[in-house]
Structure 1
Amino acid sequence: MSTQPDAALAASTPLSGLSFSKGHGTGNDFLLLADPDGSIELGVEEVTAACDRHRGLGADGLIRAVPSSLVPEGRALLQNNPEAEWFMDYRNGDGSVSEMCGNGVRVFVHFLIDRGLLSLDEGAAAAVGTRGGIKVIERSPDGYSVDMGPWEFIHPEKAAARAMDALVEADGLEVPRPGLSISMGNPHTVVALAEIAELDATSLSAAPRVDPVPPNGTNVEFVVPDDPLVHDGIGQVTMRVHERGVGETLSCGTGACAAAVATRYWAGADAPDHWAVSVPGGQVGVQFHVGPDGREHVHLSGPAVLIASGTFA
């Protein structure tokens, strides 16, 4: 597929003539660029124009695949992880730089394979660099599984005492709701709701108001646990998300992990280690395990799809 973006975009961007792909993970969609020599310069205007859904190509974010050795953040990671050849330079749809994206990293690896930049057999794993650290991705029959690394409470002293650390307001909710802030390498605040009707009535056209907001802002997840919570040993929740710098998206990988972390914490010691998180764009799997560093890590699994490729006019 060859796509001709808006003339205003073509006239104002250094992306002209570059090839791109578009992909998604459970509806969370991205534009992807290969930059093997590190020559592409991305500014806020270029990213927002490309991701604009009316005058550009449309996407929740833009991902540049660049050798780790050619960017400062990547070079720092290579010191202890020389196998992480490729770096995921991720920008939100508003042009802001983000630490990483759980759905995006699956699509990123799928893009590298499609472009012949990475070879990865089914069952094999590869390491990539992100601003959220090294991520190890395993290829599976139905997609990819990513070791997202350890999770952390953003305000551990408050979370341990009260199982919440913030109050969250959103249009459609009559009163502020308690939230729990989780770091998955990027910040999240998770709010539990009682039923699907309440989730459906919550408007995410404007960013929820979080007090106190984490230092670098936060993504906000509203979750409804199933009743009963556990089916065949798997915890089940339904989630909607407002992503920092983007707005409501059909899915958020790190957000699904944070939702599972918070719900599991609220459920207590008998809560399972396997979770299914339903989002408007589909379903992803979340699994907890002890990592090589002795800390509890989170694995995220789900599909990755490339839907189109073309050239910027």
Structure 2
Amino acid sequence: MTRRPPHPFAKGHGARNDFIVLPDPDNRLRLTEDLVRSLCDRRTGIGADGILRAVHTTTLTAATDAGREAEWFMDYRNPDGSTGTTCGNGIRVLARYLVDTGLCPPGALPIATRAGTRHVHVPHPSPRFHGDVTVNMGRPELPGPDTITVTAAGRTWPALHVDMGNPHAVVLPGDLDHAGPLTTAPTVTPEEAFPHGVSVGFAVPQRPGHIALRVHERGAGETPSCGTGACAAVTALRHADPADSADSYLVHAPGGRLRVAVLPDNTLYLTGPAAITTHGTLHLPALRTDPTPNITTAA
């Protein structure tokens, strides 16, 4: 079987929400759904909650304004092989990769996504600490309808549709344990409100400015943390109780803490850890019916 030359990859995470980074400046890789699923498989592949393909915007053929501002485009893929629009933790990990590898300088870094350009700030690294990475997530939208419900573990709750460039249905269950194990996707109605699927967040307010969160991401299942989910949870709590709204929240997910700052115009800034942990190469078959990659890694 004919194989391509080895292709570099990296593995990184943001609050344990982990991703495979595939640098592809010339836009030559073709990620089939089978290949994405194979790479993200935690037993037979590298294992990840998604893939971040880094493409130079000058190679994009679709009409877009992204290249006027952003040098890089994030082609995000869910682990089930489907295409994603944006990812709050993923874009912070990709920005960290671009800076760590010298492809971009630290500081302000615009990155194009299918949901529009996001502005990321990667701090100048010090000998001991790289610092958290922050991204301007824009302003959330509440598209409705007002009749959305979520069912999980035999319980049903009303939910708020929050669009962060990708769709979220946010529930305030009172207790995170009420969501159950989340081994299968919660049922969301009406189905026609989310023709391409939806991530479901379960958010519980704690002391002022603190939120506990679990998220079942579309195409991925429950993940240790979710950046857009954290922003959606903050939006849902502020919507439910405007009088008790804060201008900064710590969102506590199983994988760690994320901070969401809310500006007066409702723009949200997401801040949290982002680290690259592994570099390696992939030998990808040019023609494949069973796309099992040959992987070489180096920490």
Bin for the TM-score computed over the shorter chain = 0.7 to 0.9
| Residue of structure 2 in register with 1:252 after alignment | 226
1:23-81 deviations in whole A, cap 9, x for unaligned?
000011000011111111111111110111111010010111001121245x5023xx6
Q: Which of 172, 187, 193 does residue 173 from structure 2 map onto?
A: 193
1:181 is aligned to 2:166: no
Summarize the Cα distance change of 1:215–1:36 in structure 2 as closer, same or farther, 3 Å threshold. same
Could you tell me how far 1:83 is from its partner in structure 2?
Answer: 2.8
Summarize the Cα distance change of 1:183–1:54 in structure 2 as closer, same or farther, 3 Å threshold. same
**Contact 1:77-1:129 at 8 Å conserved across structures:** no
| Residue of structure 2 in register with 1:132 after alignment | 115
Task: Give the alignment's TM-score, normalised by structure 2.
Answer: 0.87
Could you tell me how far 1:270 is from its partner in structure 2?
Answer: 3.7
**Contact 2:99-2:122 at 8 Å conserved across structures:** no
Could you tell me how far 1:198 is from its partner in structure 2?
Answer: 3.0
Task: Percent identity, please.
Answer: 41
**Contact 2:9-2:23 at 8 Å conserved across structures:** yes
Structure 2 residue matching 1:125: 3-state secondary structure: strand
Could you tell me how far 1:300 is from its partner in structure 2?
Answer: 0.4
Structure 1 residue matching 2:64: 3-state secondary structure: helix
| Residue of structure 2 in register with 1:36 after alignment | 25
| Residue of structure 2 in register with 1:216 after alignment | 196
Taking the aligned partners of 1:24 and 1:53, their CA distance within structure 2 comes to 15
Taking the aligned partners of 1:31 and 1:245, their CA distance within structure 2 comes to 15
| Residue of structure 1 in register with 2:275 after alignment | 305
Summarize the Cα distance change of 1:296–1:196 in structure 2 as closer, same or farther, 3 Å threshold. closer
Taking the aligned partners of 1:139 and 1:15, their CA distance within structure 2 comes to 33
Query: Greater shift after overlay, 59-68 or 135-144?
Result: 135-144
Structure 1 gap ranges (5+): 1-10, 159-164
Could you tell me how far 1:215 is from its partner in structure 2?
Answer: 2.8
Summarize the Cα distance change of 1:220–1:72 in structure 2 as closer, same or farther, 3 Å threshold. farther
Taking the aligned partners of 2:221 and 2:4, their CA distance within structure 1 comes to 24
**Contact 1:207-1:242 at 8 Å conserved across structures:** yes
Taking the aligned partners of 1:259 and 1:287, their CA distance within structure 2 comes to 12
1:201-258 deviations in whole A, cap 9, x for unaligned?
x1211000000132321100011111xx41xxxx111011110011111011000100
Structure 2 residue matching 1:204: 3-state secondary structure: coil
| Residue of structure 1 in register with 2:143 after alignment | 154
Taking the aligned partners of 1:197 and 1:114, their CA distance within structure 2 comes to 39
Taking the aligned partners of 2:136 and 2:92, their CA distance within structure 1 comes to 11
Taking the aligned partners of 2:226 and 2:172, their CA distance within structure 1 comes to 17
| Residue of structure 2 in register with 1:45 after alignment | 34
* AA in 2 matched with 1:152: E
1:135-154 deviations in whole A, cap 9, x for unaligned?
00112462111000110002
Count of matched residue positions in the alignment of Structure 1 and Structure 2: 275
Structure 1 residue matching 2:133: 3-state secondary structure: strand
1:144-179 deviations in whole A, cap 9, x for unaligned?
110001100021x63xxxxxx311111x2x331111
Q: Which of 91, 102, 105 does residue 77 from structure 2 map onto?
A: 91
**Contact 1:277-1:283 at 8 Å conserved across structures:** yes
Could you tell me how far 1:16 is from its partner in structure 2?
Answer: 6.0
